[in-house]
Amino acid sequence: MLEKVQAALDQIRPMLKRDGGDAQLIEVTPDGVVKLKLVGACGHCPMSQMTLKMGIEKRLKEQIPEVKEVISV
């Protein structure tokens, strides 16, 4: 599943980079939790939780049904 998540993130990254941010994949747990670290402008943006849940998590769940949750670490 790690490779699937990495591939999906690679599709999302251009949108994050356009705003000066990025997401580093830290871990994908066996129970489907994806742990990301938001960096750059995304790391301290007040909208980062919305980006994480409504953007990244939504897209990952659509593409990879095994993903249960995306959290920021």
7 has a pLDDT exceeding 90: yes
Of 35, 44, 37, 40, the closest CA to residue 18 belongs to 40
- pTM of the entire structure? 0.90
Identify the domain containing residue 9 by its residue range: 2-72
Torsion of CA 40, 50, 56, 41, to 10 degrees: -10
- CATH number for position 47: 3.30.300.130
Out of 36-40, 42-46, 54-58, pick the least confident.
42-46
Token match 């871990």: residue? 27
For the residues 42-62, what does the mean pLDDT come to? 91
Q: Domain tally for the chain?
A: 1
For the residues 35-54, what does the mean pLDDT come to? 90
pLDDT for the residue numbered 42 = 85
